[in-house]
Structure 1
Amino acid sequence: MTTQTWGPDLGHPDTYRDGVPHGLFAELRRTRPVAWIEEPPSEGFAGGPGFWAVTRYEDIVTVSRDPAVFSSHQGATFLRDQRPKDLAALQQMMLNIDPPEHGKMRSIVSKAFTPRMVQGLFASVDAHAEAIVSGLEPGAEIDLVEQVSAEMPLRVLADVLGVIPADRGLLYDWTNRMVGLDDPSYGGLPAFLSAFTEMFGYAAEQTRIKRAHPTGDVWSTIVNAEVDGERLSAGELMRFFQLLVIAGNETTRNLLTGAVLTLGEHPHQWDALLANPESLPSAIEEVLRFHSPVIQFRRTATRDTVLGGQEIAEGQKVVLFYGSANRDEAVFPDPDRFDITRNPVNHLAFGVGTHFCLGNSLARMEARALLGRLFARFQHMRVTGEPERFRSNFINGIRRLPVHLGPAAQES
C-alpha cells in the first residue's frame, strides 16, 4: 500500500492557534478526503507513527457507526499514542470502550440522562442563568469566559455531581489542566498528571458518600445504578467522573463563548436573532456546526479496510475531524456562511453513532437558558477584542474573550 503525506501537521496544537484551519480542511475534502498525516517530533513530543485524517461528513459517519472496524478502545480516542500504563487506565472510560461492553456501561449511565431526568434540571439551570446574567454590571467590560461562559456549566455540573458550591473551582481547575496539556499557561505535564490524582481522590470520596447516603443528583444515580446486579467498578466510576467533568464543562463553555464570538463576527445575524428571539434554538445549532467545540477524536483500525477509496492497514490511527465534516459542501450548501435560519442542521458537533454525546440535551438547555437571558438584557453588547485561544489540537477552546456589555435593556 502506498501512502502519500499531505500538508501541515494536523496533530500539532499550533496548527489551531488562530482557530480551526477551515481552508486546509476544504482542500483536503476536495483533493484527499482520507489523507495520511505524519507526526514529526516537536517540543515535548517524541513523534508518532502518523494517522489518517478523515475530513468528509459521510466518511466520519461511516467510521463512527462501525466500531467493530474502527475501535475507540484499541488505542483510545486521544490522537497521540499513550504509554501502555496510561492507555490501560484510559480504556476504562466509557468514551474508550467498544460494544458490547460499551452498551452495558451506557445502559447504567443513561439512567441519569433520561429526558425526564434532564427536564428535572430545568428549574435549576434557568435559575443559574438568571443569577449569572443579573449579576453582570451594565456598561462593564468583562471577560465573557470567566464571568459567564465558564460559570454556567460549573454551576450545573456541581448540581449534576452533587458537588458543594465551594468546590466548583476544583472542577474548573482540573478541566483546564487536563485539557490544557499542550498549553504552557496551565502548567504542562506535571499539572496535567496532578489533576488526575486530585480528581480521582475527590471522585472516590464522592462515591463513598453517595453510596452511604443516596441523593437525587446524577452522580448518586450513577454510582448506585445496577444492570444484572452489577455496578460500575471503582476504576470505571473514576473515569466516568473525569468524562463528566470535562464534557460537562468544556463543551458547554466553548459553545457559549463561540456563540457570542460568532454572532459578533456576523452582526446582521445577531440583529436578526435579537429581532426574533424564538430563533435562538436554531441559532445554537448553527453555532455548533460553524464553531464546533471538539476538533477531533481518534479511532484505530482493527483490520485492513478501505475508507473513502483509501486503503487503511490494521492498527493504523484514523482521526475524525468534526469541524471539517460540519463544513462539508456535500451536506451543507454554502458551508462557510453563518446562517441562524439554516434548517435542518444535521451537524456532528456531538458525534454520531455509538459514542453520541449523552449530555447533548443538557448542553443545549444550558445554552438556551443563558444566551436567551444574556441577549435579552444586553442587546447592545459587543466583542471588543480578539479571543485568546487554547493551545490544543482537541478542543476548539477560548480562554478569554473581552466583551462590552452596554446598557441593560430597560436603560436602552
Structure 2
Amino acid sequence: MSEENQKTDVVAALPPLSTDLDWPDDLTPFDPFDVGIQTSPYAHYRWMRANAPVIRAGNSDAPLYIVSRFADVTAALRNAAVFLSQPPGAVVPPGFLLSLDAPDHPRLRQMASKAFTPRAVQEFTPRIAELIAKRWNVVLQNGGGEVMGLFASPLTISVISTLLGVPVEHSAQMRDWTTKILDYVAILLRGVPGGADDAAYVALTSYIGNVLDAASDSQADNVVSNLARLRASGELTAEEASGFAALIFMAGHETTTLLTGNCLDFLSHNPVWLPFLRTEKGAAAFLNEMLRYRPPVHRLSRFVGEDTVLGGYRLPAGASVRLLVASANRDDTAFPDGDTFDPARSNAAHAAFGYGPHMCMGSWLARLEVRLILERIGATVSDMKPDPTIETEALTGGAFATVGLKNLGLSVTPLRNVT
C-alpha cells in the first residue's frame, strides 16, 4: 500500500472545508449539489487540483470527502479493501455488482464476466450499426433537431434491449421500470428501513427471468444465453442473473446516452473534427479522448472502511468519499495540457471507466456503440452546428454522478450523395 493511501498511527489533518478555502472571485466554494457547478464544473476541478486536492463539502453535518487529483483518485479505486463500494447498512439487490464488496463482488463479477464478454457483445455489431443508421437517418432527413430525444436516448435503449434479448417495442416499458427502480435502489443503498416500493423491480426482474427462460436451450455465445447457462448450472442464482441483467439495462443506456450527447455537442462547436472521424481509427481515437476530456460519469462513490490517509489528509472510518474521475482525467501530471482535446495522446489510461476491481464491465459495449455512432456521423455529415431555436439544457440534480445534456438542438448538413 502506498504512503499516501494507508492505515497509519500518525494523526493527519482532516481535509479543509470547501467554505473555509480562499476561492478565486469567479468561483463559488465547491458544492456537489450546486446546479451551476454541475452544469460546468471544470474550472472548479482545475483550482482544486492545484490548491485543495482533498476537501470536505456538502452537508456540514455529514460532509462528503471530495478527491480531485489523478494519483489520489486511482489509488483509492485500486484499494477496494479500504475504499468500500457498499454503503454502511445498505441492502444491495442481488446481482448489483456496483455496490458490492468482497467476498460477494469477486465471485459475482467472475461469473458475470463469463456472460458479458467482448465476444458476446461483438456479435451484435451488425444489428447495432443497423439501429444507428435507421435513427441517424431521421436526423439527417430533418436537418437536425433535438437529438437527445430524437436520437441518443431511443437509440441506446434499443441497443441495450437488443443485447438483452428484449424486443425493441418493449424498450419503452423497460425504461419506465428502470426509472422507477433508481429510486427504489437509492432507498435500499441508503439503508432506509421501509418505504421502498419494489413493484418496478419485481416487474423488471420477472420479465428478464422470462427472457432467460426462453434462452435456456440456446447454445449461442451472447449475453442472454450465457446468463441463462450460468443460472441453469447454479453458478448464478435466478435472482443474481436477473438482477445483473437489470443492472446492465439500467447502467447501459443512461451513461451511453450522455456520452453520445457530449460527442454531438462537442462536434457542433468544433465541426473541424468531422473529417477526422472519416480517417482510419479516427472515430476510436476521438472517442477515447472524449471519454477522458468529457466523460458522462464525473464521480464514483466510496466509503472508508478504516481510518486512512489520502493525499496527505485523514479520512476517518465511515466517511463518504466522492472520487472525481472527470477531474482526474484532466490532471496535467497524468495528461499534459489536460484541458486540451487531443485524440493523438499516447497515454490512454484515463479513469472514465474506473480503475481496479470495480472497473466498468460495460466499457466494451459503450466503446463499440459510440464508435459506430461516430463512424456513421463521419460518413454522413459535412457540417454540424447548434440550433439556436432549440434550447440546450444541462442535466442537473443530485450530487452529479453523471454530467451531460437533457436537451441538445443541432442543425446537421449531410454530405452529398448520402442515403
Shorter chain as denominator, the TM-score bin is 0.7 to 0.9
Matching of residues 156-235 of structure 1 within 5 Å: 156-176=159-179, 197-211=199-213, 213-214=215-216, 215=218, 216=220, 217-225=222-230, 229-234=234-239
Counterpart Cα distance in 2 of 1:271 and 1:130: 17
Counterpart Cα distance in 1 of 2:122 and 2:203: 30
The structure-2 alpha-carbon separation of the partners of 1:241 and 1:401, relative to structure 1 and needing over 3 Å to count, comes to same
Aligned: 1:37 with 2:57: yes
Identity %: 27
Show CA shifts across 1:155-186 (max 9, x none): 211112111121111233345556699xxxxx
Aligned: 1:391 with 2:402: no
Of 240, 245, 251, the residue aligned with 1:247 is: 251
Q: Retained in 1: the 8 A contact 2:278–2:378?
A: no
- TM-score, normalised to structure 2, is 0.83
Counterpart Cα distance in 1 of 2:277 and 2:208: 42
Segment of structure 1 superposing worse, 281-290 or 159-168: 159-168
Counterpart Cα distance in 1 of 2:233 and 2:176: 37
- Equivalent AA in structure 2 for residue 402 of structure 1: G
Aligned: 1:14 with 2:16: no
1:407 positional shift: 3.5
Show CA shifts across 1:20-52 (max 9, x none): x11111111111211122415xxxxxxx51121
Corresponding residue for residue 256 of structure 1 = 260
Corresponding residue for residue 371 of structure 1 = 374
The structure-2 alpha-carbon separation of the partners of 1:213 and 1:161, relative to structure 1 and needing over 3 Å to count, comes to closer
Structure 1: give runs of 5+ residues left out of the alignment: 41-47, 76-83, 182-191
- RMSD over aligned CA atoms reads 2.7
Aligned: 1:283 with 2:306: no
Task: Indicate the SS of the match to 2:226.
Answer: helix
Structure 2: give runs of 5+ residues left out of the alignment: 1-11, 20-28, 185-194
Aligned: 1:316 with 2:319: yes
1:256 positional shift: 1.1
Of 352, 355, 359, the residue aligned with 1:352 is: 355
Q: Retained in 2: the 8 A contact 1:144–1:400?
A: yes
- TM-score, normalised to structure 1, is 0.84
Show CA shifts across 1:241-295 (max 9, x none): 3421222101211111111111223343x25525636311110011111111112
Counterpart Cα distance in 1 of 2:17 and 2:285: 39
Corresponding residue for residue 81 of structure 2 = 68
Task: Indicate the SS of the match to 1:406.
Answer: strand
Task: Indicate the SS of the match to 1:245.
Answer: helix
Matching of residues 392-407 of structure 1 within 5 Å: 392=397, 393-407=400-414
Q: Retained in 2: the 8 A contact 1:172–1:249?
A: no
Matching of residues 88-127 of structure 1 within 5 Å: 88-89=91-92, 93-127=96-130
1:141 positional shift: 3.3
Q: Retained in 1: the 8 A contact 2:385–2:412?
A: yes
Give the number of aligned pairs.
381
Segment of structure 1 superposing worse, 122-131 or 328-337: 122-131
